């Protein structure tokens, strides 16, 4: 699970609708895998990324220290875009847990696949 995917997911346990994002990553195995750098795509996705969630997650995992505030335009921001690319597209959570900050529900990540399935009484 790349951090881009992590950025899209939130806790969906019944009744847990505040403070359910971002899921805290308690990873036992995080790997870096190189991927093609596509600056247009990264710029495009920035409109949909929750920046603070990405920044705090990247920092907590020790992957990168991203700036608190993004420049108004990404024009000429090659280095920053590369850094965001590394965080979003090249950082994979392979094994560990995603923990809801609100209800503490734990979702397991095994071999890179997040198990977000809830059991019946949680739905």
Partner 1 sequence: MKLKHLESALQDVEAFASPKVKLEQYPTQPHVAAQMLYTMHNSFGDIEGKAVGDLGCGCAVLSIGAALLGSAYNVGFDIDTDALKIAAANAAEFECDIDFVHCDVVEALGLAANAQPPLHIQMAALSTNDSSSPAASSSNGLPLLVRPKSLDTVIMNPPFGTKNNAGIDMTFLHAGVLLARTAVWSLHKTSTRKHIAKKAAEWGTTMEVVAELRFDIPAMYKFHKEKSVDVAVDLIRLDCTRAPSR
Q: Are 103 and 20 in contact (CB under 8 A)?
A: yes
- Please report whether residue 35 would count as binding partner 1 according to CB under 8 A: yes
- Please report whether residue 105 would count as binding partner 1 according to CB under 8 A: no
- Please report whether residue 32 would count as binding partner 1 according to CB under 8 A: no
Q: Which residue among 62, 68, 69, 111 contacts partner 1 (CB under 8 A)? A: 111
- Please report whether residue 63 would count as binding partner 1 according to CB under 8 A: no
Residue 38 CA to residue 6 CA, distance in Å, equals 19
Q: Which residue among 69, 72, 75, 117 contacts partner 1 (CB under 8 A)? A: 117
Residue 40 CA to residue 53 CA, distance in Å, equals 21
- Please tell me whether the peptide bond between 53 and the residue prior to it is cis, using omega within 30 degrees of 0: no
């Amino acid at each position: 699970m790349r951090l881009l995917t992590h950025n899209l997911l939130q806790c969906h346990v019944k009744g847990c609708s505040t403070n359910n994002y971002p899921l805290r990553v308690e990873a036992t195995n995080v790997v870096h895998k190189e991927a093609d750098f596509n600056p247009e795509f990264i710029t495009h996705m920035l409109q949909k990324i929750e920046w603070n969630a990405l920044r705090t997650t990247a920092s907590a995992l020790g992957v990168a220290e991203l700036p608190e505030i993004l420049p108004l335009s990404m024009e000429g921001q090659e280095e920053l875009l590369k850094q965001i690319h590394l965080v979003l597209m090249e950082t994979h959570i392979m094994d560990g847990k995603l923990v809801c900050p609100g209800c503490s529900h734990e979702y397991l990540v095994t071999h890179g696949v997040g198990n977000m399935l809830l059991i019946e009484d949680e739905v």
